[in-house]
Amino acid sequence: MAIFVDETTKVVYQGLTGSQGKFYGLLNREYGTQVVAGTNPKKAGTDVDGIPIFASVGEAVAATGATASCVFIPAPGVKDAVMDAAEGGVEFVVVITEGVPAHDEAWFYNKLERDYPSVQLLGPNCPGIISPGKCNIGITAGHIAKDGGPVGIVSRSGTLTYQALYELKLNDVGVTTCVGIGGDPVPGTSFIDCLRAFEADPETKAVMMIGEIGGSAEEEAAAFIKAGMSKPVVSYIAGVTAPPGKKMGHAGAIVSGGKGTAAAKMEALKDAGAQVALNPTEAGELMVGVVASL
């Protein structure tokens, strides 16, 4: 199985008529994803390589049965795009866009939590999600992922998401679903959301979790692993050498005093029973060992 998306998922691309939306929308369709529609109020009634364009997500859902959306809208328009998707009736919204104002993220995160609890938001500022061989929504290169399970991946870092997929493929280890949650301060999907879904998925037998400095999401995930995970977890935390008080990469990756350090996160995960690697390649090697013991 897979979590969140699979071969039955039908995707509408918000921003399909833009250069990036078109590039990745068509690439995802070529991978095998059901890309059934795009949106652009100014170009409704046209198409992009045979994919119909609608004025709103609601119209796209009514005409195509779309169940998910992928947002390739410039940052100032993301807030409205997310609400268009939620109001339009999709169940899963992937926001690739980076640079979304934090107050916008907080606003639509809380709006969805309050008024649209059935809508799962992924991102903003994330690479998206891939269930290898079934569905690819976002900017992950499909050829670096091996299908067939038994490993689930969740990562804050886009680049390390790709490396994790490739490390496992090099060792002939398949993946059920890989989720890039993004590193913004207000992510729509958390580590715990993914860990809970992987724990419930019968085909996911082990989980690789990739974190980074800043915030407390990894420590919270460690508490969840300790209390509620029966499946083995391998983890890697990026930013061991990052100096305190300096932002490194993601907006959420800032260490304040003794909080949010790589060392503290690694210690919490070890205490929870996870295997903790010192680099991405070692994480792959540890997971190979886990899979061999399953």
Which spans in the chain are helix H? Answer: 19-31, 57-64, 78-88, 102-115, 158-170, 191-200, 217-228, 262-271, 280-293
Nearest to 123 by CA among 97, 162, 84: 97
pLDDT at position 250:
52
Mean pLDDT of 209-215: 91
| Whether pLDDT at 244 is above 70 | no
| Whether pLDDT at 251 is above 60 | no
DSSP class of 234: E
Tokens representing 174? Answer: 């398949």
For every residue of 62-98, which 3-state class applies, written as one string?
Answer: HHHCCCEEEECCCHHHHHHHHHHHHHHCCCEEEECCC
Total Cβ atoms within 10 A of residue 114: 8
Q: List, for residues 121-135, the tens digit of each pLDDT value.
A: 999 999 999 999 999
pLDDT at position 221:
98
Q: Given 238, 250, 255, 277, which residue is catalytic? A: 250
pLDDT at position 253:
47
Q: List, for residues 133-149, the tens digit of each pLDDT value.
A: 999 999 999 999 999 98
Look up 250 and say whether it is catalytic: yes
Please name each of the domains of the chain with its CATH number: 10-122 (3.40.50.720), 141-293 (3.40.50.261)
d(CA 48, CA 19): 11
Nearest to 141 by CA among 17, 16, 23, 282: 23
Q: List, for residues 175-205, the tens digit of each pLDDT value.
A: 999 999 998 989 999 999 999 999 999 999 9
